[in-house]
Amino acid sequence: MSDAAPSAPAAYADDAYAVVIPTLGRPSLTACLRALARSGGPRPVRLVLVDDRPDAAVAELAAAVPEQLRALTTVVRGGARGPAAARNAGWRAAGGVPWIVFLDDDVVPSASWGEDLALDLAGAAYRTGAVTARIDVPLPPDRRPTDWERNTAGLATARWITADMAYRRAALEAVGGFDERFRRAFREDAELALRILAAGWTVTAGCRRTTHPVRPAGRWVSVRLQAGNADDVLMTRLHGRTWWRRAGAPRGRLPRHLAVTGAAVTGLACAALGRRRAAAACAGLWLAGTAEFALARTVPGPRTRDEVATMALTSVAIPPAAVWHWLRGQLVHRGALPVTVPGPGEPPRHPRARDWERVPS
């Protein structure tokens, strides 16, 4: 194992792949790597771990790598700039391997993952830029899932999630990889896929399966997640207002959060000006909107005392947090320009591509 990319061999097979895993050194990395080592089928030709901690320690990650994978493993520094930048560092350090498979450090590949991946890559046409995986999120069998568990379960239906995503290196090179302005694990995957499609590549569904367990999270995790509203602003700047539909992304409740927060701010202003009736009316609107939000989140859940308390508290905090991050995004990304892609058109033709594989643009 080394902390620099090994020298690249002269050539690789068309279906050769490297695995890139950005990590913050979480304990879940060990389970991910052990599952990868146990998986049947062709091995990756390289495994690149991107240590994205500010105080990256190669020795710590080395201890997590199973013996079967150590000769293939390279550790690179991510620079603590977020998952998009870490993935870019990883695939660029992988050398000239034709396929790059991105995994998160908290997923568990299935026992047949390697064999299924080989089938996914073998079935890729020359213009296939990426192949998705099937993500399983295990939920408690004996009770209703909590709000956080339901949130995580949404990963199972996310269209282009990089928890397990295979990209053709040529496609990554054609569009420049991930946009490093996305500093969180949110929207950077959809943004890249939209550029891949716009450049003339296709994204196909694979058959391999990967489990994404629900990580433990504190009471206020749903409030912290509202930072993603700033990323949604950047997505709109880059890809226009229709990106939601094209990416299959849910629109969320931002319009309602704006209304509820607006009622609260207006009510406070009216109270400060001595307009009691107007203040009371705004307070009523805020209370109704907050109660509706809390109820919508509580009813599908287990309704335990702790869950009900969490829903009540966070339903008060989420709307202003969402609005704050949306406004911050409007300011920070005000100069972002629409993306330009090398196309649309045909991706580079593989020298052995068959004529029937050519599909008109």
Predicted local confidence at residue 55, as pLDDT: 77
Confidence of residue 11 (pLDDT cuts 50, 70, 90): confident
Predicted local confidence at residue 351, as pLDDT: 41
Q: Which CATH superfamily is domain 17-217 in?
A: Spore Coat Polysaccharide Biosynthesis Protein SpsA; Chain A (3.90.550.10)
- Name the packing angle between helices 305-332 and 276-298 (round to 10°): 110
What's the rounded Cα separation, in Å, for the pair 330 and 332? 6
- Give the other-Cβ count within 10 Å of 235's Cβ: 27
The pLDDT tens digits for 107-140 are 999 999 999 999 999 999 999 999 999 999 999 9
Which residues are 22's β-sheet partners? 50
**Rounded alpha-carbon distances, angstroms, from residue 82 to 53, 176, 178, 179, 190:** 9, 17, 11, 11, 16
Name, in order, each residue with C-beta under 8 angstroms of 234's C-beta and a sequence gap of 6 or more: 181, 182, 187, 329, 333, 336
**Residue 346 above 90 pLDDT?**
no
Predicted local confidence at residue 353, as pLDDT: 40
Predicted local confidence at residue 40, as pLDDT: 87
Q: Helix, strand or coil for residue 75?
A: strand
**Rounded alpha-carbon distances, angstroms, from residue 321 to 218, 316, 326, 330, 353:** 17, 9, 9, 14, 51
Q: Which of 19-33, 49-63, 190-204, 289-303 has the lowest mean pLDDT?
A: 49-63
**Residue 28 above 90 pLDDT?**
yes
**Residue 240 above 60 pLDDT?**
yes
Under 8 Å between Cβ of 104 and 163: yes
Which residues are 99's β-sheet partners? 17, 168
Predicted local confidence at residue 161, as pLDDT: 94
Confidence of residue 357 (pLDDT cuts 50, 70, 90): very low
- Name the packing angle between helices 276-298 and 254-272 (round to 10°): 150
The pLDDT tens digits for 92-106 are 999 999 999 999 999
The whole-number average pLDDT for the span 231-252 is: 94
Task: Please give the mean pLDDT across all residues of the chain.
Answer: 91
Predicted local confidence at residue 60, as pLDDT: 74
- Residue ranges per domain, the chain? 17-217, 219-340
Q: What percent of the chain has pLDDT over 70?
A: 90
Q: Which residue's structure tokens are 């991050």?
A: 325
**Rounded alpha-carbon distances, angstroms, from residue 45 to 96, 156, 230:** 11, 28, 38
The pLDDT tens digits for 323-334 are 999 999 999 999
- Give the other-Cβ count within 10 Å of 103's Cβ: 27
The pLDDT tens digits for 347-356 are 654 444 443 3
Residue in 269, 39, 262 with CA at minimum distance from that of residue 164: 39
Q: What percent of the chain has pLDDT over 90?
A: 83
DSSP 34-64: HHHHH--SPPPSEEEEEE-STT--HHHHHHH
Confidence of residue 345 (pLDDT cuts 50, 70, 90): low
Predicted local confidence at residue 101, as pLDDT: 98
**Rounded alpha-carbon distances, angstroms, from residue 38 to 196, 252, 266, 291:** 32, 39, 59, 49
| Cis peptide bond upstream of 344, omega within 30 | yes
Q: Which residue's structure tokens are 């308390």?
A: 309
What's the rounded Cα separation, in Å, for the pair 182 and 81? 9
**Residue 8 above 50 pLDDT?**
no
Q: Which residue's structure tokens are 């068309």?
A: 14
The pLDDT tens digits for 267-311 are 999 999 999 999 999 999 999 999 999 999 999 999 999 999 999
**Residue 149 above 50 pLDDT?**
yes
What's the rounded Cα separation, in Å, for the pair 154 and 314? 19
Confidence of residue 35 (pLDDT cuts 50, 70, 90): very high
Determine the length of the chain. Answer: 361
Say what the pTM is.
0.90
DSSP 94-142: TTT-SEEEEE-TT-EE-TTHHHHHHHHHHT--TTEEEEEEEEE----TT
Confidence of residue 361 (pLDDT cuts 50, 70, 90): very low
Predicted local confidence at residue 111, as pLDDT: 96
The pLDDT tens digits for 44-54 are 999 999 999 98
